Amino acid sequence: PELVEWCQKELENDSRQLRRWQILVTGKPENTREENRACARALAKWLNAVAHQDLLDGFSLSMLKGGDYVPEMRFLLPAEGVDTRRLWQICAEHAPEGIKPAKPDENWNWSGYLTGSLDLLFRAANKRYYVLDYKSNHLGTQATDYKPERLCAEVFGSHRYDLQYLLYSLALMRYLRAARPDDSFHDIYEKQYGGVIYMFLRGVGSQEGQPYGLYCERPQFAIIEKLDKLFGANIGRIAAVDRQEQ
């Protein structure tokens, strides 16, 4: 009930967001007060499903405590002479059997800094660190449209989310290495690196008891090590900015 009241209040205070949610939930731009209430309830139910979705061994976002997560953590990855042909080759080596990743349009060499942000970096109960990325892709109207195998095809399709989560993994590993300079890269992987979770929000909670809407991956250490070398393992460390503990 408290979550419903909060959603209702937030929607009423933001007319633009209210209009967006009205169209999404009811298909109409104008609604009665009761329809607005139903919109808030639908939003509350969805947020509750996201917060309590089992991510790994019974762990959910609702169990996170202060100091165990950082939202929107920005990062910089220094790079020197990166050959994108080699980058795509590494991605292809990581692809599951039977999956042919979409081919890039062009290849080039580049140096500089790659910047980005992690939707959510968190430490789970197992003391490992994970990157969670939210996706709003519309893959269909049925719960089965968000089954793991369907999501796998989406990840390795034209969006090339596989490249994205490999770079996120490299960023996380370098971040952890900067905090533990005396540990080997491999030890950090074994002890602290958890993996990447893609949460396709439209599928989360669509069918109770099913992991619909979740794509989880823990790339092999050899893949991350190749990326580290490709990006110039000795030219610098990851630089994280705007890091705010919650």
Catalytic site positions? 133
Long-range contacts: 184-191, Cβ < 8 Å, 24+? 185/225, 185/228, 186/221, 186/225, 189/221, 189/224, 190/221, 191/128
Distance CA 119, CA 132 (A): 6
List the structure tokens of 179: 């905090």
Q: Which of 76, 222, 191, 177 is nearest to 123 (CA)?
A: 191
Instruction: Specify the amino acid at residue 222.
Output: A
Both structure tokens of 76? 């910089």
Determine phi and psi for 98, rounding to 5 degrees: 90, -5
Backbone phi, psi, residue 118, to 5°: -95, 125
Q: How far apart are CA 228 and CA 148, in angstroms?
A: 28
The one-character DSSP state at 63 is G
